[in-house]
A and B are shown apart, each in its own frame.
Chain A
Amino acid sequence: MQRKDLLTEPVKHFRINSKLSVNQLIQQFQNSGSFGAGRLAVACDIYEKMARDKDCTIFLGLAGALVPAGMRSLIADLIRGGLINVVVSTGANMVHDSIEALGGHHYKGHWLMDDHVLYRYHVYRIYDVLVPEEDFVNLDYKMTAIYDDIADQSKGKTLSSCDFARELGKRLEDPDSILRAAYESNVPVFLPAVRDSELGYVHFLHSTRRKLAKKPPLLLDAFSDVAEIIGICRKSKKMGMIILGGGVPRNTIQSAALATKSGLDYAVVITMDRAETGGLSGSTLEETVSWGKVKGQASTVTVYGDAMIIFPIMAASLIERLDKNHKRPRPKNMEKLA
């Protein structure tokens, strides 16, 4: 390498005008190629590559309170558009999806609110989002009846978290619901840490009441998810993941990709976690290559920022790049699952 090879592409400075679209702004970020703007532009390109690759199964990993903050309808729309093929989520995000599907709401608050006052008024705070306790109670009440119905219908059969999510989606009528959109689109939703959420508490309520009524409770087998998600990976010619946050959902997707011994072909991670602590959420995608979870030649980028800002921009840019009313066909392996 010579010195001149290092200095080939000058940074182009932003030019903003009143008609600039989201994707045009991303192109400007690409022309800059620098810092977070450059990483976001690469992330948009990788998502476009995944979307245009007919053989790619697109996994979305969802961790952190994204649904309470307003990400719900966007994810439901992307599922319906075929731009997400498999969802792996924390239980909590599906709890908040269900809260809204059952008539509840999340409210704008502030990060400096007096939490003693909130406690006295039975209002819960998620940073600057508020949830009234009655919406959780309404969820507990209605969801217990839904669990009863699922337990009656399944007649002692043990469900995976994916089966369970499908059964919930079948019973939620709200078209903006992620669970409903996934059910209607036959998109699997894995909830690997389902008990670590209000869905776990609802199971306590349901099973206590079923015991009194001398009826068997809803049975979930967390391990059966492993075979299911590995099965999807095995049938996938190519795999891509978009990670919002990290945590258990990221590990679930990466471990399934590792189990197939093929690794992911595309990976976009949006996180604010750091690598130095050794935690998975902040681990670099380079490190992931060492495990074989991501291919050495894969298209990858980590965007360090708030997923609430980054991911809607990526989605808006992608939709602008695709044809109008674009609906991505299901990858061939996913057709077999239908």
Chain B
Amino acid sequence: MKHKIENKNEHCGNCGSHNAHQYPQKSFCMHRFLQGQTPIVDTLWRCEDWHQSEQECQCIEDAEKGARKRA
């Protein structure tokens, strides 16, 4: 998680490897899981292996709403 890349358009929540984990804040990354890395990531994070998801979901919008509420 320390290599966080700042890009508001590219997050785990719109990456093709993400699944819901603790919706919407946390996502489960199948790519990381297969690589033996920690699979549970912040939905608003991203790593260097980010790739666009084929279909849109609500993860980022809902995670951002949640983040705004907490702030």
A residues within 8 Å of B by Cβ? 119-122, 132-134, 136-137, 140-141, 144, 205, 208-209, 212-213
In the complex, chain B residues whose CB is within 8 Å of the CB of A136:
19
Q: A141-B28, A141-B33, A209-B36 are in contact. Are A134 and B57 (CB under 8 A)?
A: no
CA distance A136 to B35 in the complex (A): 19
Q: List 20 A-B contacts (CB under 8 A).
A: A120-B56, A120-B57, A120-B58, A121-B57, A122-B19, A122-B20, A122-B23, A122-B57, A132-B23, A133-B23, A134-B22, A137-B19, A140-B30, A205-B30, A205-B34, A208-B34, A209-B33, A212-B35, A212-B36, A213-B36
- B 16-40 to A, binary, CB cutoff 8 A, 1 in contact else 0: 0001111100001010011110010
The secondary structure that dominates the A interface is: helix
Q: A119-B55, A119-B57, A120-B56 are in contact. Are A134 and B36 (CB under 8 A)?
A: no
In the complex, chain A residues whose CB is within 8 Å of the CB of B36:
209, 212-213
B residues within 8 Å of A by Cβ? 19-23, 28, 30, 33-36, 39, 55-59
- Chain A proximity of B31: nearest CB distance (Å): 11
The 9 tightest CB contacts between A and B, nearest first, are: A122-B20, A133-B20, A137-B28, A134-B20, A120-B58, A137-B19, A120-B57, A208-B34, A134-B21
CA distance A122 to B21 in the complex (A): 10
In the complex, chain B residues whose CB is within 8 Å of the CB of A208:
34
CA distance A120 to B20 in the complex (A): 11
Contacts A134-B19, A205-B30, A212-B35 supplied; 4 other A-B pairs, CB < 8 Å: A121-B58, A134-B23, A136-B19, A208-B34
Partner of A205 from B22, B33, B57, B58 at Cβ < 8 Å: B33
CA distance A26 to B22 in the complex (A): 47
Nearest chain B residue, comparing its CB with the CB of A117: B58
CA distance A61 to B12 in the complex (A): 42
CA distance A134 to B36 in the complex (A): 19
- Chain B proximity of A80: nearest CB distance (Å): 34
CA distance A121 to B23 in the complex (A): 9
CA distance A137 to B33 in the complex (A): 11
Nearest chain A residue, comparing its CB with the CB of B35: A212
In the complex, chain B residues whose CB is within 8 Å of the CB of A137:
19-21, 28
B19-A133 in contact (CB<8A): yes
Q: A122-B23, A209-B34 are in contact. Are A141 and B58 (CB under 8 A)?
A: no
In the complex, chain A residues whose CB is within 8 Å of the CB of B21:
134, 137
- Chain B proximity of A132: nearest CB distance (Å): 7
Nearest chain B residue, comparing its CB with the CB of A122: B20
Q: Most B CB atoms within 10 A — which of A133, A205, A212?
A: A133
In the complex, chain A residues whose CB is within 8 Å of the CB of B55:
119
CA distance A133 to B27 in the complex (A): 11
- Chain B proximity of A109: nearest CB distance (Å): 16
CA distance A137 to B39 in the complex (A): 11
CA distance A212 to B36 in the complex (A): 8
In the complex, chain A residues whose CB is within 8 Å of the CB of B19:
122, 133-134, 136-137
- Chain B proximity of A212: nearest CB distance (Å): 6
In the complex, chain B residues whose CB is within 8 Å of the CB of A134:
19-23, 28
